[in-house]
Amino acid sequence: MSIKNAAEKLICQQAMTKEDFIELLGYFGNSDIMALLKEEALKLRRKYYGNKVFTRGLIEFTNYCKNNCYYCGIRAGNQNARRYRLAPEEILECCQEGHHLGFRTFVLQGGEDPFYTDEKIAAIIREIKYHYPDCAVTLSIGEKPRESYRLFREAGADRYLLRHETADEAHYRQLHPDSMSLSTRRQCLWDLKDLGYQVGAGMMVGSPGQSDQTLAEDLLLLQELEPQMVGIGPFIPHHDTRFAKEPAGSVELTLYLLSVVRILLPAVLLPSTTALGTLDPLGREKGLAAGANVVMPNLSPLRNRKQYELYDNKICTGEEAAECRGCLEQRVRNAGFELVSERGDAPFLPKKLNPMYKENR
Ligand code: SAM
């Protein structure tokens, strides 16, 4: 194929520049190019994962957070948030139920809560690994020193989700207080990768101040880091934040970006997020149809679900874990895929910037 535009360049797996990504984002709304990219995304998704959709049991174990990300409902400065944390035994009970339901990955997610010292986290990981050696443990507990990441890895953690949120310096400053920095976030991602984690980066779509320029920076970061997982969901305002009156991100643009990221990183583990399902009743099905291959139902105790309120109207806060899994199983089937009980690791692939990459794809 002779390369005519940035969409074709992406499909041909050529290294993309910032200008290429900006051009690609300019095609949002062009139905021919959007259809072409969606078709390619589904082809690649099928090539690497067939009909399978992997599932992760999400355990939101603390909503205490020392940070003050301006968009987030559980940021430290939100006096109205009702705080909770699960005891280690409660986390293990969630895993027990999850394992019984067929989950083979547990995601421990929380705010940055100093109560959970590194030793406490490591002990929880060891316990989970001892009782469920067939399961993967994913952490999503924010920025830590490299030595903490090393300790968790040695305790048995397999994966780490740390969305970079935005790779544009000025945009990062609009979303975070001065105590936080994009360079620290980046360093954490590279440390995690270096320590052998399967790493997840990602961004909200439509966060206040986002533009094609900042999204192009996000895509460049993903191209450079080559994470095994990418979390992309729409921004949704929370009533107790400075962004309460901002519009939510676009479902359509999120779907477009899911297809783009599937082509950029063909074997990536790509969740169809709860935020997508919050903005559109069929959002998660549409995410799967755009190239996503992971869903993350909630395993947190029902009594705490509403308290982990990152944004307004979050769905799945009133269902038991079994109901949540059953509902998603049906949704996955409706979208033409099959929910499986596997760890669902990313396959090993040569790196994109390696000259052998294209031959091996
Ligand atoms: N503290 C960890 C961290 O910072 O990575 C994990 C928990 S954090 C609450 C999980 C993710 O929630 C963030 O990476 C962010 O993208 C998402 N989030 C927070 N507020 C949101 C909002 N208003 N709309 C959509 N997503 C949001």
Supply the CATH number for residue 67's domain.
3.20.20.70
- State the average pLDDT over residues 243-263: 98
Cβ pair 80, 114 in contact under 8 A? no
Q: What is the model's pLDDT at position 69?
A: 98
pLDDT digits (tens, 9 = 90+) for 181-229: 999 999 999 999 999 999 999 999 999 999 999 999 999 999 999 999 9
Whether residue 349 lies inside any domain: the answer is: no
Tally: H helices and E strands in the chain: 15, 9
Whether residue 1 lies inside any domain: the answer is: no
Whether residue 270 lies inside any domain: the answer is: yes
Q: How far apart are CA 232 and CA 250, in angstroms?
A: 12
What range does the domain containing 78 cover?
A: 13-344+355-360
- State the average pLDDT over residues 104-108: 98
Whether residue 44 lies inside any domain: the answer is: yes
Cβ pair 192, 149 in contact under 8 A? yes
Is the pLDDT at 124 greater than 50, yes or no? yes
- CA-165 nearest atom, ligand 1: 16
Ligand 1, pocket residues at CB < 6 Å? 71-72, 74, 109, 111-112, 140-142, 162-163, 165, 204, 233, 235-236, 238, 275, 310-311
- To test the pocket of ligand 1, the residue of 64, 69, 70, 72 to mutate (highest count of ligand atoms within 8 Å of its CB) is 72
Expressed in angstroms and rounded, the spacing between residue 310 Cα and the centre of ligand 1 is: 7
Whether residue 324 lies inside any domain: the answer is: yes
The total number of structural domains that make up the chain: 1
Expressed in angstroms and rounded, the spacing between residue 79 Cα and the centre of ligand 1 is: 18
Q: What is the model's pLDDT at position 2?
A: 55
- Prediction pTM value: 0.96
Between the two ends of the chain, the Cα-to-Cα distance in Å is: 17
Q: Where are the alpha helices (DSSP H) in 226-336?
A: 251-264, 274-279, 283-290, 302-305, 321-334
User: For all residues of the chain together, what is the average pLDDT?
Assistant: 95
Neighbours of 317 (CB within 10 A): 17
Whether residue 302 lies inside any domain: the answer is: yes
CB burial readout 293-304, b (16+ within 10 A) else e: bbbbbbbbbeeb
